Amino acid sequence: MMYHPLDEGWTLTLLRGDRPDAYAALDDGIPATVPGVVHTDLLAAGLMADPFPGAQEAELAWIGESDWRYRSTFSWHPTLDDAHVDLVAEGLDTVATVRINDVVVLETVNQHRSYRTDLAAVLREGENSVEIDFRSPVRYAREREEVLGERPHSYAHPFNTIRKSACNFGWDWGPDFATAGIWRPLGLQEWAHVRIAAVRPVVDIVNGIPHLTAHVDLEWQGDDEEPVTVEIEVAGASARVEARPGQPVVIDLDVPDAEPWWPRGYGEARLYDLAVRVGDGVDEATRWSRAIGFRRVEVDIAPDEQGSPFSVRINGRDVYVHGANWIPDDVFVTRITPESLAASITDATDAGLNLLRVWGGGLYESDDFYDICDREGVLVWQDFLLACAAYSEDAELWDEFEAEAREAVTRLTSHPSLVIWNGGNENIWGYVDWKWRSRLNGRTWGEGYYRDLFPRIVSELAPTTFYSDGSPFSFSSYVHPNDDSHGTMHIWDVWNTRDYDGYRAYHPRFVSEFGFQGPPAFSTLESVVRDEPRSPFGREMLAHQKANEGNDKLERGLGTHLPAPGDYADWHWTMQLNQARAVSFGIEWFRSLFPLNRGWIVWQLNDCWPVVSWAAVDSHRHRKPLWYELRRVSAPRLLTIQPVLDGDGLRVTLHNDSDEAITGRVELRREGLDGTVLASLALDLEVAARSAWTAPIDASLAVAGDPSREVLVAESSSGERGLHYFAEDTALALVDATAVDARAVADGYEVTLTAQTLVKDATLLVDLVDPAARVDSGMVTLTAGERHVFRVSGPAGIDPAAFARAGVLRSANDLVARALVR
């Protein structure tokens, strides 16, 4: 096989649309990049400025409302005798007509599929032309809604009528920049006799022995009936069969020398190269290889006395999930690279996370994403691509869903990290709870996908992964889909309508979505928001706050936890701090419920542009205060002080999510903010691996003499610490009194903080000094007399004192102190 990429010489022109005068160059065509999309080509041509700053969304809406043409020429000279030549389009976004030499060879309506078409009738030796016309995705979606019927959906556009990434039409954290273009590679593939169309390695561990069932799909040229041999080899095991046209090729193979693939924290993520050869395998069409791993996947959903669990089990071991939801890593997805994916996944692993949920409003990610998760031992929960809407089950959509699902499951089955397929996001919940039924008036809404099509495809093509009908889901037709006692749940009344102490109203078996908003790093915000004067409710600020009443909810979410901010800088820090506290508050509560609770997936890990959002890491790769709290509460061992369940008083709990048992003591101290010990008690601690220990706290410690000036400290002999405050910060006698020393060191800077009294949540906002600076720790709480060293990396030549100045060094203390003088 020979592959000829079609990635050079492209031009982009506007076919139809109301372009502004500044884009007149489009009339003659501008250079285009493949892979790419219209927006990135306009950027590269200098016609469009960076679309993220300011409030440009409405001004740029014409791009998604327009039709576009990509055109190129290429030279073709056959290299094989009597060869078959296909046009291979790995991804067209979205409604496209492809012409070769002015002949239509392909029409597409699905971003989430690849396409292959025979060019025998149109390709000629020498010069050829290729032309791809893209219809406006926005206008096409509206047109199909007229045909299919209006169905409930989130946000402005009927994204549920078109097979395109839903969030590309705008979401409550992303802009409405509906794209069009050749978003994945395009090329010609020349092959003769037979080619490998797909390999689907289904792995399992049976009676302790790794096992592979390799499904090899072959495509034969014309009426060729000559048999071929198919050979597979992996980890020292091999097998060979003879294949004939029309017969499926399925090879079963025990692989006794392979070791299991384990998720992070449970063992090594062992991978082995699987090689497939057809005949002598001399060309690319007849050989295939990739790394695979062997694991057994189970999810326990069997009813119990508390309801029904959702417990992920890998290789027979229950895995407590510390997870995050994943969205596309850039608004313009063709800018995503293997390196950028690796950096974002490192944000997850550095925080102690062991699962990423690829959310249903986004994409089936590139193999690079899943390859990294395979290597790093990060479990993947993959949604089918439906979110927050009702979907027609008419043939035109059903057939597309089936084609894209079959392709996605076939492509991704080789990845051991992918352990869960999920029917869609919030659609079943929406049907039950969001008044859809009356609006639908009997029309289909997607149930056939969740309960029939997708489970059949997963059962057929990936039988050793788990399938869930949706998220949230209770795994019963007779239980509310978002019941905390059953299966998975989403908690969104906290943030939307309720204070974050509302997390304690739930006893969830598994939380697959929850979160709280906060702004990005200050430098990230300044790169796009330039209102004069700066204001949380300025025009440009609100263009980067996509949630309904988002900044109002941020202010309401402070409750009595933190004082109202006095100025814009305080607003920024206060809202970042409250976001971090809200999420960690919820996670500590969930983990304290172990073994009832078996995991959580925070919304969300990453951002796709500079925005106020739920992300832990902003789009400029600044780790927000939330990220540091995620790292703390995702640690293998977490010591926390919580209310007694179904009673009065406090309890101390240690969740030991590690393979080592712990024996020792827990020291409890009720002390003044100045460090004076007022009461103390030591408890014997003995907790098995992957288990939890809990004990009630004596009233002499659990009740404060002066709630405004005391704190309860729990410290284990194994090094964990938990804190309980008897009053919110607005009633605590916090003072801004610390000793700070800053100095330059060989690899950056060190800032040493010494607490003269209790210091809560000390954080260095180092990007205020230099946007390239990064710091190793944040959200540090010190009791009186304790010290902490912040290690800062950044450009040389900065005055170290800049990292210790007020406004860069922040804490809850300074917010309380500033509020007292206002």
| Whether pLDDT at 613 is above 90 | yes
| 526: Cβ contacts below 8 Å, ≥ 6 apart | none
- Cβ contact 240:230 at 8 Å: yes
Q: Model confidence at 83, in pLDDT bands (50, 70, 90)?
A: confident
Q: What is the largest CA-CA distance in the chain?
A: 91
For the stretch 324-368, pLDDT in tens is: 999 999 999 999 999 999 999 999 999 999 999 999 999 999 999
Q: Tell me the C-alpha distance between 325 and 600, whole Å.
A: 10
Please write down the HEC assignment for all residues of 620-684: CCCECHHHHHHHHHCCCEEEEEEECCCCCCEEEEEEECCCCCEEEEEEEEEEECCCCEEEEEEEE
The residue ranges of every structural domain in the chain are 2-189, 193-292, 304-633, 637-731, 738-820
CA–CA dist 416, 375 (Å, integer): 10
Query: Which candidate, 77, 286, 118, 287, places its Cα nearest to that of 193?
Result: 286
- pLDDT single digits (tens) 524-548: 999 999 999 999 999 999 999 999 9
Which of 760, 645, 768, 763 minimizes the C-alpha distance to 713? 760
pLDDT of 575 strictly over 70:
yes
Task: Kindly report the backbone phi and psi dihedral angles of residue 566, in degrees, each rounded to the nearest multiple of 5, phi listed first.
Answer: -90, -30
Distance (Å, rounded) from C-alpha 713 to C-alpha 738? 20
Query: For position 737, what pLDDT does the model report?
Result: 77
> Is the per-residue pLDDT at 284 higher than 90?
no
Confidence of residue 226 (pLDDT cuts 50, 70, 90): confident
Tell me: the pLDDT tens digits for 416-450? Answer: 999 999 999 999 999 999 999 999 999 999 999 99
User: In this structure, which CATH number among 3.30.420.10, 3.40.630.190, 3.40.50.620, 3.20.20.80 belongs to the domain 304-633?
Assistant: 3.20.20.80
- Report the CATH architecture of 738-820: Sandwich (2.60)
Asked if the model's pLDDT at residue 820 lies above 90, the reply is no
pLDDT at 468 over 90: yes
By CB neighbour count within 10 A (0-12 exposed, 13-18 middle, 19+ buried), where does 364 fall? buried
| DSSP-derived secondary structure for 79-136 | -STT-EEEEEES-EESEEEEEETTEEEEEEEBTT--EEEE-TTT--SEEEEEEEEE--
What pLDDT does 814 receive?
94
Q: What is the mean pLDDT of the chain?
A: 96
What are the tokens at 263?
């998720």
Mean pLDDT value of segment 741-753: 96
For residue 225, what pLDDT is reported? 75
Sheet of strand 2-5, all strands in order from the earlier edge strand to the far edge: 2-5, 186-191, 84-89, 115-118
Measured in whole angstroms, how far is the alpha carbon of residue 196 from the centre of its chain? 32
Does 283 have pLDDT greater than 90? Answer: no
Indicate whether 175 pLDDT > 90: yes
Rounded to whole angstroms, how far apart are CA atoms 745 and 754? 19
What is the CA 715 to chain-centroid distance, rounded? 34
> How large is the average pLDDT for residues 568-585?
98
Alpha-carbon dihedral angle through residues 104, 105, 110, 112, given to the nearest 10 degrees: -150
pLDDT above 80: residue 150: yes
Q: Is pLDDT at 1 greater than 70 in this prediction?
A: no
CA–CA gap between residue 608 and residue 359 (Å, rounded)? 14
The residue with tokens 């509906």 is: 178
CB 539 within 8 Å of CB 628: no
Token pair recorded at residue 654: 């240690």
Q: What is the CATH number of domain 2-189?
A: 2.60.120.260
- Which fold would CATH assign to domain 637-731? Immunoglobulin-like (2.60.40)
**What digits encode the pLDDT tens for the residues 377-425?**
999 999 999 999 999 999 999 999 999 999 999 999 999 999 999 999 9
Q: Encode 294-328 in three state secondary structure.
A: CCCEEEECCCECCEECCEEEECCEEECEEEEEECC
- 185: amino acid identity, one letter: P
Question: Where does the pLDDT of residue 285 fall: very low under 50, low under 70, confident under 90, or very high at 90 and above?
Answer: confident
CA distance 59 to 608: 20
Tell me whether the CATH fold assigned to 193-292 matches the one assigned to 738-820. yes
* CATH code of the domain made up of 193-292: 2.60.40.10
Confidence of residue 474 (pLDDT cuts 50, 70, 90): very high
Is the pLDDT score of 500 beyond 70? yes
Angle at 505 between CA 503 and CA 507, to 5 degrees: 85
Sheet containing strand 321-326, strands side by side: 466-468, 418-422, 379-383, 355-358, 321-326, 599-602, 511-514, 489-491
User: What is the three-state SS of 252-268?
Assistant: EEECCCCCCECCCCCCC
Please answer whether residues 577 and 812 qualify as being in contact, where contact means their C-beta atoms are separated by less than 8 angstroms: yes
Dihedral of CA 227/410/380/208: which sign?
negative
Query: What is the model's pLDDT at position 271?
Result: 98
